[in-house]
Structure 1
Amino acid sequence: MSFKIAIIGAGSIGFTKKLFTDILCVPEFKDIEFALTDLSEHNLQMIKAILDKIVESNNLPTKVTATTDRRKAIEGARYVISCVRVGGLEAYADDIRIPLKYGIDQCVGDTICAGGILYGQRNIPVILDFCKDIREVAEPGAKFLNYANPMAMNTWAAIEYGKVDTVGLCHGVQHGAEQIAEVLGAKSVKELDYICSGINHQTWFVDLRLNGRKIGKDELVAAFEAHPVYSQQEKLRIDVLKRFGVYSTESNGHLSEYLPWYRKRPEEITKWIDMSDWIHGETGGYLRHSTETRNWFETEFPQFLESASKPIDPAKRSNEHASHILEGLETNRVYRGHFNVKNNGVITNLPADAIIESPGFVDRFGINMVSGVTIPEACAATCISSINVQRMSVHAAVSGDIDLLKLAVLHDPLVGAVATPEEVWQMVDEMVVAQARWLPQYADALPAARERLSQAKVKTRDWAGAARRNVRSIEELRAEKAAIKQAV
């Protein structure tokens, strides 16, 4: 087989390498072309060097190109994969820093809440530019695979406004299933069958079978509470399991910021989170992790390049959906996964226009969703709160309506639990002004926003959050890795 895959945001080096090696685990795909594109020439050259090394070491005919000209990369592509973070870590730092001034403490801030909504405002205009290129120069009928957050908002915009065949892909379901299999004592996650349904980052394991035996709430709660690690790292997640009756795909930190109950007071935050790793609720945890990862890669690049000389091992193919979807579409080998698509009745008790995440099957005829799923009422209520925020956020991002943007932020569950309307109005003005270079749709709203900020009446505070850690140096990271290796 010979076709072209364009990867936008290919400078996300570790993730691009994973997608690349996964796809080349499919024997029929050795003759395809990968077209890498990114705003950073520096990152592009690093990832191209790594991928070229993989191709050379495995004696493959695979073609790898790299260009900062996105349209050129997309030209003739059958598949376009997006891994972009518009504004990079600079804008992301504002997503965390500014809401903290108003008492809003986020762990990740990439889905909803103040940070995730502004992240969507930056991404959506660019996503629509990608869609325009796909419609005009990609192979007819090209499929857009979106890995970028905020997943639901980006996918919603691409389908509703971009008019491109789009599917959103995430790995939260797979990671949740691995946890459940572990606490239940399974030898492999393959022993676990499940239906997981909801919206991205709020997906729920509504049916669990271990070797065919149905697993109920009480057994799952007992298993998690008995686990020596998860019982401490996932306290909030276990509490939600007890109250809702089903387990969420998302980590302690992620889940905490989609709900109005656990992060609204500093003393509550420290009660529910765990500081053993960023993902369990640390203030700005993913920002710190992302910063350290970037710094580490820059410093340790020679070691990463050397590791690229190892043979591709199909047994180590990851559970990221992209390669399996392409394999299903191109070879007709059926793949079952969980995909982000427009609802249209797939989940009976969520809005038709929402982007849902639910089971589907892939073969040569496309992605075929399992329809008629009904999720528990409490799960649906929680999802609908987020869907309403997502809908307003998407429409604000497309129209440049700053008033609608403020209403979207006001209706966010965690923001609403912490901030007053007056605080929200000022916070959004501050975030839009700080990120103006990435928000072209709000250009006309900026003068008035700046004027309002010059006469700001809401008092803010200099607050690092309830559980903030400093970014570690390369030396600290190296020492930590050496200690772990020695302990093993």
Structure 2
Amino acid sequence: MSFKIAIIGAGSVGFTKKLFTDILCVPEFRDVEFALTDLSERNLQMIKSILDRVVEFNRLPTKVTATTDRRAALEGARYIISCVRVGGLEAYADDIRIPLKYGIDQCVGDTICAGGILYGQRNIPVILDFCKDILEVAEPGAKFLNYANPMAMNTWAAIEYGRVDTVGLCHGVQHGADQIAEVLGAKSRTELDYVCSGINHQTWFIDLRLNGRKIGKDELVAAFEAHPVYSQQEKLRIDVLKRFGVYSTESNGHLSEYLPWYRKRPDEITRWIDMSDWIHGETGGYLRYSTETRNWFETEFPQFLESAARPIDPAKRSNEHASHILEALETNRVYRGHFNVKNNGIVTNLPQDAIIESPGFVDRFGINMAAGITLPEACAATCTSSINVQRMSVHAAISGDIDLLKLAVLHDPLVGAVSTPEEVWQMVDEMVVAQARWLPQYADAVPAARERLSKSRVKTREWAGAARRDVRSIEELRAEKTALKQAV
């Protein structure tokens, strides 16, 4: 088979390499063309050299091109994969830093909450530019696979306003399933059958079966509380499991910022999180991790290049959805996964216009979702609160309506638990002014926002958060990796 796959934001080096090698695990895909595009010429050349090394070592006919000209990369592409982070780590730092001044402590800040909403404002205009190019120069009927956060907002905009065949992809479900299989003593995840449904990062294991036996709430709670590691790292998820009756797919840190109850006071934050790794709730944890990862890659690039000269091993193919979806569409080998699509009756007790994450099957006819799923009422209530925020956020990003943007942030569960309306209004003004270069739709609103800030009397504070860690140096990272190797 010969077709073209374009990867936008290919400078996300580690993730691009994973997608690339996963796809080349499919024997029929040896002759595909990968067109990489990114704003950074330097990052493009780094990832291209790594992928070229993979191709050369494995003696494949695969073609890899790299260009900063996005339309050239998209021209004739059958599949387009997006991994973009508009504004990079510079804008992301403001997503964390500015809300902290108003008492809002986020772990990740890329889905909803103040950071996730502003992230969506930056991404959505660019997503619509992608869609325009796809319709104009890609292969007719091209499929857009969005991996970029905020997943639901980006996918919502691409489907409703971009009018492109789009599916959103995430790996939270798979990671949660791995945990459940482990605590239940399964020899492998294949023994566990599960159905998850909800919205991205708020998806719920509503049906669990181990070797055909249904697993109930009490058994699952007991299994997690008995686990020596997860009982400490997932305290918040376990508490939600006890109260809701079902386990969340999302990490302890992610879940904590989508709810109004666990991060509203500093002493409560430290009670529910775990500092053994960023993903368990550390203040600004993903920003620190992303910064360290970027610095490590740039310093250790020769090692990354050297490690690319290895055989592609289908046994090590990851559980990221992209390669499996492409395989199913092109070869008709059926694949089952959980996908982000417009609801349209799939989940009965969530809004019809929402982007839901739910089970589906893929074959040569496309992605076929299992319809008629009903969530437990508490899960539906929590998801609906976030959907209302997502809807307003998407519409604000499309219209450039700063008042609607403020209302979206005001209705966010965690923001509403911490901040007053007056504080929210000022915080949004401050974030829009700080990120103006990435927010073209708000250009007309920025002067007035800047004027309001000059006269504001809302008090703020310089606060690092309840559980902040400093970015580690390359030397510290190297020492930690050496210690881990010696421990093994």
For the criterion TM > 0.5, the same-fold answer is yes
Q: Secondary structure at the match of 1:444?
A: coil
Determine whether 1:218 maps to 2:226.
Answer: no
SS of match in other structure, 1:120: helix
Within-5 A mapping of 1:251-270:
251-270=251-270
User: Is 2:239 aligned against 1:239?
Assistant: yes
> 2:198 and 2:422 mapped to 1: Cα distance?
32
Distance 1:408 1:11 in 2: 31
Percent identical residues: 91
Q: CA deviation at 1:353?
A: 0.2
Please state how far the C-alpha of 1:378 moved relative to its aligned partner. 0.1
Task: Using the TM superposition, give the Cα deviation of residue 85 of structure 1 relative to its aligned residue in structure 2, in angstroms.
Answer: 0.1
Deviation at residue 177 of structure 1 after TM alignment: 0.1
Distance in 2 of aligned mates of 1:58 and 1:481: 29
Q: Note the C-alpha offset of 1:433.
A: 0.1
**Over residues 396-440 of structure 1, what are the superposed CA-to-partner deviations in whole Å (9 max), with x where a residue is unaligned?**
000000000000000000000000000000000000000000000
Structure 1 residue 453, shift from structure 2 partner: 0.2
Q: CA deviation at 1:46?
A: 0.4
Aligned-pair CA distance for 1:165: 0.2
- Measure, in 2, the Cα distance between the counterparts of 1:439 and 1:292: 27
Aligned to 2:12: 12
Kindly state the Cα deviation for residue 466 of structure 1 after the two structures are TM-superposed: 0.2
Q: CA offset at residue 376 of structure 1?
A: 0.2
Report the alpha carbon displacement of residue 81 of structure 1 after superposing the two structures with TM.
0.2
CA distance in 2, matches of 1:441, 1:457: 27
Q: CA deviation at 1:479?
A: 0.1
Deviation at 1:372, TM superposition (A): 0.3
The 2-side partners of 1:343 and 1:391 are apart by 13
CA deviation after TM superposition for structure 1 residue 384, in Å: 0.1
Deviation at 1:55, TM superposition (A): 0.3
- Structure-1 residue corresponding to 2:21: 21
Shift of the alpha carbon at 1:183? 0.3
What do residues 148-196 of structure 1 show as CA deviations (whole Å, max 9, x unaligned)? 0000000000000000000000000000000000000001011000000
Residue of structure 1 in register with 2:299 after alignment? 299
State the shift of 1:321 in Å. Answer: 0.1
Task: Please list the CA deviations of residues 93-124 of structure 1 after superposition, one character each: whole Å capped at 9, or x if unmatched.
Answer: 00000000000000000000000000000000
Question: Counterparts of 2:308 and 2:279 in 1: how far apart (Å)?
Answer: 28
Query: In structure 1, what is the Cα distance between the partners aligned to 2:446 and 2:105?
Result: 26
Deviation, 1:351, is: 0.3
Runs of 4+ in 1 over 4 A off after TM superposition: none
What whole-Å deviation, never above 9, does each CA across 1:361-408 have from its counterpart, x for those lacking one?
000000000000001000000000000000000000000000000000
Looking at structure 1, the residues matched to 395 and 11 of structure 2 have their Cα atoms a distance apart, in angstroms, of 29
Shift in Å at residue 246 of structure 1? 0.1
The two structures have a TM-score, normalised by structure 2, of 1.00
Distance 1:187 1:293 in 2: 32
Deviations 1:265-302 (A, max 9, x none): 00000000000000000000000000000000001111
Distance in 2, Cα, partners of 1:447 & 1:110? 26
Aligned residue for 2:412?
A: 412
SS state at 2:445 partner: helix
Which whole-Å CA distance do the structure 1 matches of 2:398 and 2:73 have between them? 25
* Unaligned 5+ runs, structure 1: none
Q: Which residue of 1 aligns with 2:114?
A: 114
Match of 1:57 in 2: 57
Distance in 2 (CA, whole Å) between partners of 1:466 and 1:377 is 32
Q: Give me the whole-angstrom Cα distance separating, in 1, the residues matched to 2:405 and 2:162.
A: 20
CA deviation map 1:296-332 (0-9, x unaligned): 0001111111110000000000000000000000000
3-state DSSP of counterpart to 2:139: coil
Deviations 1:5-50 (A, max 9, x none): 0000000000000000000000000000000000000000000000
Q: Secondary structure at the match of 1:81?
A: strand
CA distance in 2, matches of 1:70, 1:16: 16
For 1:324 and 1:168, the matched residues in 2 are separated by: 14
Partner of 2:203: 203
In structure 1, what is the Cα distance between the partners aligned to 2:23 and 2:287?
29
Take 1:352 and 1:459, find their aligned partners in 2: how far apart are those partners?
40
Q: What 5-or-longer segments of structure 2 have no aligned partner?
A: none
Q: Secondary structure at the match of 2:39?
A: coil
If the length of structure 1 is used for normalisation, what is the TM-score?
1.00
Q: How far 1:460 moved relative to its partner?
A: 0.1
Superposed counterparts of 1:25-424, under 5 Å: 25-424=25-424
Residue by residue over 1:198-244, the C-alpha shift from the partner in whole angstroms, topping out at 9 and shown as x without a partner, is: 00000000000000000000000000000000000000000000000
Write the distance in 1 (CA, Å) between the matches of 2:415 and 2:185.
39
Q: CA–CA distance in 1 between the matches of 2:299 and 2:189?
A: 35
Per-residue deviation, residues 68-93 of structure 1 (Å, max 9, x unmatched)? 00000000000000000000000000
In the aligned structure 1, how far is the partner of 2:251 from the partner of 2:142?
A: 33
Deviation at 1:254, TM superposition (A): 0.1
User: What CA distance in whole angstroms lies between the structure 2 residues aligned with 1:90 and 1:190?
Assistant: 41
Supply the RMSD in Å over aligned alpha carbons.
0.2
1:478 and 1:417 mapped to 2: Cα distance?
Answer: 40
The secondary structure found in structure 1 opposite 2:145 is strand
Counterpart Cα distance in 2 of 1:456 and 1:486: 55
| Secondary structure, aligned partner of 2:166 | strand
Deviation, 1:333, is 0.2
Cα distance in structure 2, aligned partners of 1:121 and 1:44: 25
Indicate the residue corresponding to 2:483 in structure 1: 483
Distance 1:213 1:395 in 2: 44
Give the superposition deviation at 1:360. 0.1
Paired with 1:62 and 1:244, the residues of 2 have a C-alpha distance of 48
- 1:433 aligned residue: 433
